[in-house]
Chains A and B, each alone.
Chain A
Amino acid sequence: MKREITCIGCPLGCSLEVSLADGQVVAVAGNECPRGASYARQECVHPERMVTALIPVPGRTTPLSVRTQRPIPKDKITACLRVIAAARPSLPIRIGDVIVPDVADTGVAVIATRDLA
Chain B
Amino acid sequence: MIASTPIDVLIIGGGPAGLAAALAAKAAGAADILILERERELGGILRQCIHTGFGLHVFKEELTGPEYAARYVAKINAQGIPAQCDTTVIDITRDRLVTCVSAAHGLEQFQAGAIVLAMGCRERPRGSLGIPGARSAGIYSAGTAQRFVNLDGYLPGRQFVILGSGDIGLIMARRLTFAGAKVEAVVELMPYSSGLKRNIVQCLDDFAIPLLLSHTVTAIHGPERLTGVTVSKVDADLHPIPGTERHFPCDTLLLSVGLIPENELSRGAGVDLDAATGGPVVDDRLQTSVPGVFACGNVLHVHDLVDHVSEEAAEAGRQAALAAASRRQAIPLPQPEPPKPMASPMPAAAAGAGAAEAAIVVRAGDGVRGIVPQRISPAALTAAPVKLMFRPTGVHKNAVLVLEADGVPVHRVKKRVLSPGEMVELTIKPDFFAAVKPVRELIVRCENA
Contact = CB atoms under 8 A, between A and B. Distances in A.
A26 interface: no
Contact of A65 (B62, B64, B152, B422): B64
B206 A95 contact: no
Contacts of B52: 50, 52, 67
Nearest to B43: A114
Contacts of A8: 196-198, 201-202
A95 B67 contact: yes
Interface string B38-52: 000000000000111
A63 interface: yes
A12 interface: yes
A65 B66 contact: yes
B56 interface: no
A6 B50 contact: no
Q: Bin chain B's interface residue count.
A: 20 to 34
A33 B50 CA distance: 32
Contacts of B178: 53, 81
Interface in B409-425: 416-419, 421-422
B182 to A, nearest CB: 15
Contact of B200 (A13, A62, A77): A13
Contact of A54 (B62, B179, B201, B416): B179
Given A62-B152, A62-B153, A67 B416 contact: no
Interface in A1-55: 5-13, 32-33, 49-50, 52-54
A56 B153 contact: yes
Given A6-B205, A11-B197, A81-B178, A61 B152 contact: yes
Contact of A52 (B50, B153, B200, B421): B50
B70 interface: yes
B397 interface: yes
B151 interface: yes
Contacts of B422: 11
Interface residues of A, number: 30
A67 to B, nearest CB: 6
A114 B49 CA distance: 11
B197 A52 contact: no
A76 to B, nearest CB: 13
A54 B50 contact: yes
Interface string A61-96: 111010100000010010001000000000000010
Contacts of B206: 49, 74, 77
A12 B417 CA distance: 6
Nearest to A70: B62
- Which residue, of B153, B202, B206, B418, has the highest number of chain A Cβ atoms within 10 A? B153
Contact of A6 (B149, B153, B197): B197
Interface in B325-346: none
B150 interface: yes
Contacts of B179: 54
A5 B201 CA distance: 8
B419 A11 contact: yes
A10 B197 contact: yes
A105 B25 CA distance: 47
Nearest to B48: A65
B197 A13 contact: yes
Contacts of A10: 197, 416-417
Interface string B383-394: 000000000000
Contacts of B150: 54, 63, 65
Interface of B: 50-52, 62-64, 66-67, 70, 149-153, 178-179, 196-198, 200-202, 205-206, 395, 397, 416-419, 421-422
Given A11-B422, A54-B153, 16 more contacts: A6-B197, A7-B197, A10-B197, A10-B417, A11-B419, A12-B397, A12-B417, A13-B200, A49-B202, A53-B178, A61-B151, A61-B153, A62-B151, A65-B64, A65-B150, A81-B178
28 contacts: A8-B198, A9-B197, A10-B197, A11-B196, A12-B397, A12-B416, A12-B417, A13-B197, A32-B416, A50-B62, A52-B50, A52-B52, A52-B64, A54-B149, A54-B150, A56-B153, A62-B153, A63-B153, A65-B64, A65-B150, A67-B50, A67-B64, A81-B178, A95-B70, A113-B66, A113-B67, A114-B67, A115-B70
The 5 closest A-B pairs by CB, nearest first: A11-B419, A65-B50, A8-B198, A12-B417, A13-B197
